[in-house]
Structure 1
Amino acid sequence: MRHFEHFPVGSTYELGATRLTSEDIIGYARAYDPMPFHLDSEAAARSPFGGLVASGWHTGAVVMGQFVRALLVDSVCQGSYGMDEVRFLKPVRPGDELRGRATVEEAAPHPRRPETGTVGFVIEAADQHGQPVYRMRTRLLFARAAAKSARREAAGARH
């Protein structure tokens, strides 16, 4: 189980890779971002993109899924303060493979909750050619391992 202490500043984590198909792009767009250049290849060909592209929010959702599966599912994450600086850097097209990476930019004990700490990540994704396609920053709250040990010791002293 990953705690606050498992995320030192400068650590980088590979999040995996996900290839997007036309069906993935159109399906997401139908449900969440029905712009013509996400839904229809012919309309997309006439757009400034010159072809079908994934919604930036689709790209973000895919990378967030990678982040959660690679790092957060096996952690004591207690939620997020939100996202900052969300950037869609390059259009994602059918057949592109998104490769996510998370880097710890900051980590500090919580100022009012000593049993927790905050970790600031920059989450990035590149395509199969290494070209950056997505970036965002987020701060997450994690339980501290030291706090868990202190609670165990206190509980043992009472018995």
Structure 2
Amino acid sequence: MRFAEFSAGLVIEAGPYHVTQAEVLQFATAYDPQWFHTDPEAAAQGRFGGLIASGWHTCGIAMRLLADKALKGSESFASPGLAYIKWPHPVRPGDDLTVRATVLETRVARSQPGLGILRWRWQLFNAQGAEVLGLEATSLFDLSQQLSN
């Protein structure tokens, strides 16, 4: 999507994305090697009653879904950060996840006329409707960029 296609109130949905145990273990082993992400037997005895995905893995899944659905072919080039991030429920192997992104605001920077700013809320849900990720992101768009696709 191009920056001009985003407007306050727009809702973008994508998914599902199926989470496998192999993927949970691979990501956690490489980037978040805590026992509740990497050791199924120990995790079964823990507070969550089983293996759970890293929150950072969960963010990556949401990013993938939205990159494919909304940012592919856009003028997006960076993000200065997040206003908040939360993981209200764990992601488990076998979950099917869907993302909902709600545009909160779009504007062109006064100090940099070629800079588009998008604020949006991302929510990732499992198949039971439980929110597993919530965040508010800002994305930057280079409006002077000429795209051919």
Would you say same fold, with TM above 0.5?
Answer: yes
Unaligned runs of 5+ in 1: 150-159
8 Å CA contact retained: 1:16, 1:70: no
| Structure-1-length-normalised TM-score | 0.86
Structure 1 position 54, deviation (Å): 0.6
Shift of 1:59: 0.6
Deviation, 1:10, is: 0.3
Match of 1:39 in 2: 38
Question: What 5-or-longer segments of structure 2 have no aligned partner?
Answer: none
Q: Given the two structures, how large is their TM-score scaled by the length of structure 2?
A: 0.91
SS class of match (1:44): helix
Task: Tell me the CA shift for residue 4 of structure 1.
Answer: 2.2
Name the CA distance, whole Å, in 1 between partners of 2:75 and 2:130.
Answer: 32
Q: CA deviation at 1:94?
A: 1.1
Determine which structure has the larger helix proportion and give its number.
1
Residues 2-81 of structure 1: pairs in structure 2 closer than 5 A: 2-81=1-80
Deviation at 1:69, TM superposition (A): 1.1
Match of 1:152 in 2: none
- Superposed displacement of residue 120, structure 1: 0.2
C-alpha contact (below 8 Å) 2:2/2:73 kept by paired residues? no
User: How far apart are 1:148 and its partner, in Å?
Assistant: 7.2
Give the aligned residue type for 1:7. Answer: F
C-alpha RMSD of the superposition: 1.5
Render the CA deviation track for 1:7-40: whole Å, top value 9, x for unaligned. 1000010122211111111111110111111111
Identity %: 35
Shift of 1:77: 0.8
Instruction: Give the secondary structure class of the aligned counterpart of 1:92.
Output: coil
Question: Is the Cα–Cα contact under 8 Å of residues 53 and 91 in structure 1 kept in the other structure?
Answer: yes
Give, in angstroms, the shift of residue 137 of structure 1.
Answer: 0.9
Which one has the largest radius of gyration?
A: 1
Count, aligned residues: 146
What are the Cα deviations for residues 42-96 of structure 1, in whole angstroms up to 9, with x where unaligned? 1001211111111111111111111111111120112111122111110111111
**Given the alignment of the two structures, is residue 106 of structure 1 paired with residue 105 of structure 2, yes or no?**
yes
Asked if the contact 1:3/1:143 (under 8 Å) is kept, the reply is no
Runs of 4+ in 1 over 4 A off after TM superposition: none
Q: In 2, Cα distance between the equivalents of 1:34 and 1:78?
A: 30
Distance, in Å, in 2 between the alignment partners of 1:140 and 1:77 is 7
Q: Evaluate the alpha carbon distance shift between residue 22 and residue 106 of structure 1 in structure 2; reply closer, same or farther with a 3 A threshold.
A: same
